[in-house]
Amino acid sequence: MTQKDIIESVHKGIGSPVPFSEIVHRISSVIVQGGETSVPAVFGRLEPASIAYVHTYPEDISDGPWDI
């Protein structure tokens, strides 16, 4: 699963703005559901995906403000 696929999967499930911690939780869930079982590998994918999410969909995040 590509980073773009992960981000789009999470974004589709967001109905209204949620805290950033919820976004991170959902991203990690998608990564694990995609078949990743190694904790270092999950964290290695989680950081760039969460940063990309903030830049792509800042309106989905309720806590902020985000100066990006």
Which tokens is 50 given?
Answer: 């969460």
Q: What is the DSSP letter of 16?
A: S
Residues sharing a CB contact under 8 Å with residue 27, sequence separation 6 or more, in sequence order: 6, 7, 10, 46, 49, 50, 53
- The residue ranges of every structural domain in the chain are 3-60
Query: What are the pLDDT digits (tens) for 29-58?
Result: 999 999 998 999 999 999 999 999 999 999
pLDDT at 66 over 80: no
Which of the four pLDDT bands, split at 50, 70 and 90, describes residue 1? Answer: confident
